[in-house]
Amino acid sequence: MSFGKSFRSHFPYLDPSVTPVNHGSFGLTPGCVIEQQKRVSEAHESYSDRFHFSDAEHLYARQIQALARYLRLDPRNLALVTNATCGVNTVLRSIKWDFSRDKVLVHSTSYTSCANTVKFLADYYGLRYDVVKLDYPIEDSDLLTRFHEKLATGNYRLCMFDLISSMPGVMLPCEQLIQLCKQHDVLSLVDGAHGAGLVDLQFLDTLQPDFFTTNLHKWLSAPKSCGLLYVNPKHHSTIQTLPISWNYSNQNCQYIPNPTTAEDRLQNENLMHNKFWFVGTMNYAQYFSIEEALKFREETCGGEDRIREYQWQLQREAVPLIVAEFGPGARLLQNSTNTLAVAGMFNVNIPLPEKYSALKQKLASDPYYFMDFKQKCFALMFSRKAFLPFIYHNGELWVRFSVQVYNELEDYKIGARSIKSAVMEVLDAEHGA
Amino acid sequence: MSFGKSFRSHFPYLDPSVTPVNHGSFGLTPGCVIEQQKRVSEAHESYSDRFHFSDAEHLYARQIQALARYLRLDPRNLALVTNATCGVNTVLRSIKWDFSRDKVLVHSTSYTSCANTVKFLADYYGLRYDVVKLDYPIEDSDLLTRFHEKLATGNYRLCMFDLISSMPGVMLPCEQLIQLCKQHDVLSLVDGAHGAGLVDLQFLDTLQPDFFTTNLHKWLSAPKSCGLLYVNPKHHSTIQTLPISWNYSNQNCQYIPNPTTAEDRLQNENLMHNKFWFVGTMNYAQYFSIEEALKFREETCGGEDRIREYQWQLQREAVPLIVAEFGPGARLLQNSTNTLAVAGMFNVNIPLPEKYSALKQKLASDPYYFMDFKQKCFALMFSRKAFLPFIYHNGELWVRFSVQVYNELEDYKIGARSIKSAVMEVLDAEHGA
């Protein structure tokens, strides 16, 4: 079946009156994956004791194996986590910090929850941190210089950066940033929330960052919510599950410093599995539907290349249409080397008339005013059933559009009109107020 | 409809060939609650943007309100968490520890995951801890003396103890322990994993411990997995979600030290809600089925009193039957004031023949041998579809039986035979080996 609106038949739970142009926030799960999730829940209820004590470990291992095959990664470095924020929390909260000395580097466009985790460790335990300011559109070379200047000071133990930022939805030169961290002997923690299903992740095994995490429910068709955590082998012994659970004290979860037997070596290689397969009683149905999600992408969608090709093609057609809807001054958020947009996400600004300059000033300077403004626009877009997220960044209102296999050109006209009219309506009301 | 085997029709996903005598480990969810969970998942998929940004907060608040009404607790002190272990982790990992000075007190029968969390904080950041050794059957007065002796030293910042321990499944004099902590100015963290649905929790609002957490999927008929966290008002400003999420930096999540307006006071009262209603993209379907679970207990089961009455009645009949099956020397785990057994759980020992004394020694002294032994017994019980958990404690093999509304006397005969034959078979094989 060809992609586009007719492909929505694979997503039977989607309200047909909704125009889904915001895949990036929460993903949308194929019907076959939701059905699998229900089957797992029912199997779980049918005999919980056996499910937990006997079946679950095997089912967990199968998902990791399937992911490793599909993403072409070494399964021994992978673990399932609830989502990318949990992945980041898992790492940041099981590093043996020296709170009196250690410092972390983040960037101004880091995902709020992840930046908050660093801020929490600072507020509660004294971890120090600095922020690299990023103003889009930015050249990769400029971005790398800003990170380099900080990292070269030798002040940092860890640097957390995005593969693809959330708002605006843009790609960072992640591979160079990993190398930069290595060069300066700084731990790299990559927030790849939007990675799996949008970007080839094989660089993980070649570049070997210290830590990487991605959601699987956003772009890889898994149910809400699944995340993947990659941990460099040298940290397998350090990183612990969130919450700390049964396995923390298990014999087979302890790293053996100088393994002499094959059994010892095997234990060291299996640490990630042994620690992460069980983190207490929870709903494992989403995890155990990952294989089904990969099958959907491979068999029903025809694989990652075909998906990406469709996304790029549709994006190319959608941009001029949106720019025309948004009016003079609207443009794609892009730099000179065309590295910012990704297959599934791009950003276009809504030019705001000069008469709103005072309001623009307020949107830029008062985060609480912006939040309130955003909520009003959201409500209007919900009622129109065409929702798009946006931010006020570097003097412009940037709208993030998502592109997925169930989209077609018409969606972007509907989406662009929905958000433009919502923004203008709220601005008008605020201006008049 | 009367309780017993016929009541199993309300649990349509239970494998009918299974004898469910281990409710305590994972709970069993009524069919109507599972159906509600599916409906929520589908609603979530139908329009994720609106679900997350608009519906979820209201749905979350409704569950808290329903729980507060049902458990007769102040809703402002409550938050939903994934399970009790997550509740314990939430607390232990957002206390502003002074790692160089602070010390924690736990007991030897603390739940492994929770004890592990303390151990982790010790291993990674230097938190110190001590363990009160408990050997069952123990008199409450003796237990209280052991805690008192430690707490009176003034060495502890926090004491973590169970309301009902997992293994053996016994009640602790929780109210007196809370008072003991208050008396010695030590923070109390109560692991009430088995609390909701087995014990009246109104003591929380009268005694006001510092922290309390319970599962809702074990005994309160909620889906896997839901937990409730109670936080004393004086700690609402300190405790943060696990993982740290969006709300950490929200204006409405900040405590206002000297509130002067009604709005400020309201914000301080709503801190738990404002922080905990959203912790990122995850499956909220289990949370949003809690109301349905309470309706099941109230309307279909006839309320907590009727449930508890049935559990006690059935337990009274089951004990002599099990004792007869287990043979001479078998007895209920109980103390002189009859405070150990709870409505839904009790323990009976399997007397082990003298010829196994060397193996008994090994079971008592080598935790890894015990784990291996347990796994072998588990496999046999799975194949017999009548599973019971057990521990080797204080020189005896104690089996934990659960009592739930779908049980009847026959189940305990089947269960007792399943575990006795499994244990004897494995002992025989080990003895011969």
Q: Please, which pLDDT band fits residue A433 given cuts at 50, 70 and 90?
A: confident
Which residue's entry shows tokens 């570097």? A394
Q: Is the ipTM of this complex over 0.90?
A: yes
For chain A, give the mean pLDDT.
97
Which residues, listed in sequence order, are joined to residue A242 by a DSSP beta bridge? none
**10 Å Cβ neighbour count for A368?**
10
Say whether pLDDT at A1 is over 90: no
Alpha helix (H) ranges present in B242-283? 262-269, 271-276
Q: Please, which pLDDT band fits residue B433 given cuts at 50, 70 and 90?
A: confident
State the smallest CA–CA distance between residue A224 and chain B in angstroms: 5
Residue A86 to residue B243, Cβ atoms within 8 A: yes
Residue A378 to residue B54, Cβ atoms within 8 A: yes
Q: Does B382 touch chain A (CB under 8 A)?
A: yes
Residue A353 confidence (pLDDT) = 96
What mean pLDDT do residues B163-191 have? 98
Residue A206 confidence (pLDDT) = 97
What mean pLDDT do residues A384-409 have? 98
Give B-chain residues touching A283 at CB under 8 angstroms: 223-225, 283, 286
Give B-chain residues touching A11 at CB under 8 angstroms: 45
Give A-chain residues touching B110 at CB under 8 angstroms: none
State the smallest CA–CA distance between residue B76 and chain A in angstroms: 23
What mean pLDDT do residues B94-118 have? 98
Residue B47 to residue A385, Cβ atoms within 8 A: yes
Q: Does B336 touch chain A (CB under 8 A)?
A: no
Q: Does A89 touch chain B (CB under 8 A)?
A: yes
A-B interface: how many C-beta pairs under 8 angstroms? Answer: 209
Cβ-contact B163, B191 below 8 angstroms: yes
Residue B329 confidence (pLDDT) = 98
Q: pTM for the complete prediction?
A: 0.98
Query: CA B287, CA B77: separation in Å to the nearest integer?
Result: 17
Q: Does A242 touch chain B (CB under 8 A)?
A: yes
Cβ-contact B322, B297 below 8 angstroms: no
Residue B223 to residue A283, Cβ atoms within 8 A: yes
Residue B86 to residue A280, Cβ atoms within 8 A: yes
Q: Please, which pLDDT band fits residue A416 given cuts at 50, 70 and 90?
A: very high
Burial readout A387-402 (b: 16 or more C-beta within 10 A, e: otherwise): bbbbbbbeebbbbbbb
Give A-chain residues touching B189 at CB under 8 angstroms: none
Say whether pLDDT at B116 is over 80: yes
Q: Please, which pLDDT band fits residue B185 given cuts at 50, 70 and 90?
A: very high
Residue B113 to residue A248, Cβ atoms within 8 A: yes
Residue A14 to residue B385, Cβ atoms within 8 A: no
Q: Please, which pLDDT band fits residue A61 given cuts at 50, 70 and 90?
A: very high
Residue A325 confidence (pLDDT) = 98
**CB-based burial label for B26 (10 Å; 0-12, 13-18, 19+):** buried
Closest CA to B215 of B84, B60, B376, B409: B84
Say whether pLDDT at A38 is over 90: yes
Q: Does A23 touch chain B (CB under 8 A)?
A: no
**Mutate which of A283, A286, A288, A387 to test chain B, going by most B C-beta atoms within 10 A?**
A283
Q: Does B100 touch chain A (CB under 8 A)?
A: no
Q: Nearest residue of B to residue A96 by CA position?
A: B124
For A249-262, what is each residue's pLDDT tens digit? Answer: 999 999 999 999 99
Residue B42 to residue A282, Cβ atoms within 8 A: no
For A309-318, what is each residue's pLDDT tens digit? Answer: 999 999 999 9
What mean pLDDT do residues A270-279 have? 97
State the smallest CA–CA distance between residue A336 and chain B in angstroms: 33
For chain B, give the mean pLDDT.
97
For B363-386, what is each residue's pLDDT tens digit? Answer: 999 999 999 999 999 999 999 999
Residue B280 to residue A83, Cβ atoms within 8 A: yes
Q: Please, which pLDDT band fits residue B146 given cuts at 50, 70 and 90?
A: very high
Burial readout A98-130 (b: 16 or more C-beta within 10 A, e: otherwise): eeeebbbbbbebbbbbbbbbbbbbeebbebbbe
Nearest to A117 among B86, B96, B243 (CB): B243
Nearest to A225 among B94, B120, B282 (CB): B282
Please tell me whether the peptide bond between B233 and the residue prior to it is cis, using omega within 30 degrees of 0. Answer: no
Cβ-contact B306, B46 below 8 angstroms: no
Query: CA A203, CA A218: separation in Å to the nearest integer?
Result: 20
State the smallest CA–CA distance between residue A193 and chain B in angstroms: 11
Say whether pLDDT at B219 is over 90: yes
Nearest to B38 among A38, A50, A96 (CB): A38
Q: Please, which pLDDT band fits residue A413 given cuts at 50, 70 and 90?
A: very high
What mean pLDDT do residues A342-364 have? 97
Residue A385 φ/ψ region, left for φ over 0, alpha for ψ in the -120 to 50 degree band, beta for the rest: left
Q: Does B82 touch chain A (CB under 8 A)?
A: yes
**Mutate which of A45, A51, A216 to test chain B, going by most B C-beta atoms within 10 A?**
A45
Say whether pLDDT at A432 is over 90: no
Q: Please, which pLDDT band fits residue A219 given cuts at 50, 70 and 90?
A: very high
Residue A283 to residue B14, Cβ atoms within 8 A: no
Q: Does A400 touch chain B (CB under 8 A)?
A: no
Q: Does A117 touch chain B (CB under 8 A)?
A: yes
Q: What are the backbone dihedrals phi and psi of residue B82, each rounded to the nearest 5 degrees, phi first?
A: -60, -45
Query: CA B161, CA A3: separation in Å to the nearest integer?
Result: 57
Q: What is the largest CA-CA distance in chain A?
A: 77
Q: Does B194 touch chain A (CB under 8 A)?
A: no
What mean pLDDT do residues A373-385 have? 97
- The sign one gets for the Cα dihedral A28, A404, A136, A356 is negative
Q: Please, which pLDDT band fits residue B328 given cuts at 50, 70 and 90?
A: very high
State the smallest CA–CA distance between residue B84 and chain A in angstroms: 9
